[in-house]
Amino acid sequence: MPKNRFILRRPFPYTYRRYALFIILINFIIFGIRFVYPNLAEYVHYYGAMNPILVEHGHMYWQFFSYMFLHQNFQHVFFNMLALLIFGIGFEKAVGSREFLLFYLICGALSGFFSFLVYRFTGQNRVFLLGASGAVYAVLFAYAVFFPRSVFFIWGIVPVPAPLMVFIYALIEIGSQLFGRGSNVAHMTHLFGFFAAWLYFVLRMGIHPIKIWKDTYRR
């Protein structure tokens, strides 16, 4: 195996430190700062949310990471963190905390970076992207890869296998991106979360998600 691939796929020693819970706590703390220090909210949004012009011309490259720790309102942060709680803990236990943290940050940053490219290409320079959705969608994808036989119940009634859930979400996001109007939701970033997770699995872990799902339901 080439040396660079060996380094890329070198595993971390397994540890479980509950990083998913720490990320959830950090997101709620940052969201709560706006109520304790309301005058800081505008500055945090300006310097922390990802804006194409500020990244390119202001060299605020940290925004590829900081944007995923900022949220628009309580509903936004609550449902993102609820999803991270549901899917993140199981995934973190499966791969270890260090791998989980690397996955979360890399996929979140890639989601922001891919969104940045689209925004610049389409001239959407006034956008301020924020929210953990890209990273959370990547975690949902990862959960479906590691627990392909896991089943979720829509409305508590309809059973849906985890891989099918990913497919359904992808279709919803594609449809919303193509046909949605007047929405502040970054559906494109959600899709990039799935794509970033797929890249991570293939390049870092040597895992091919589609093959896993096919093999799982072929038996």
pLDDT in tens, 177-204: 666 554 555 778 889 999 999 999 999 9
Is it true that domain 3-218 has CATH number 1.20.1250.30? no
Position 109 scores a pLDDT of: 97
Residues belonging to the chain: 219
pLDDT at 134 over 80: yes
Position 1 scores a pLDDT of: 42
The pLDDT confidence band at residue 53, using thresholds 50, 70 and 90, is very high
Average confidence (pLDDT) over 78-86: 93
pTM of the predicted protein model: 0.90
Position 120 scores a pLDDT of: 92
Position 182 scores a pLDDT of: 46
pLDDT at 30 over 90: yes
Mean pLDDT of the chain: 89
Domain-wise residue ranges, the chain = 3-218
Task: Mark out the alpha helices in the chain (DSSP H runs).
Answer: 3-8, 19-36, 41-48, 52-56, 63-66, 74-83, 89-95, 97-122, 133-146, 162-179, 187-200, 209-218
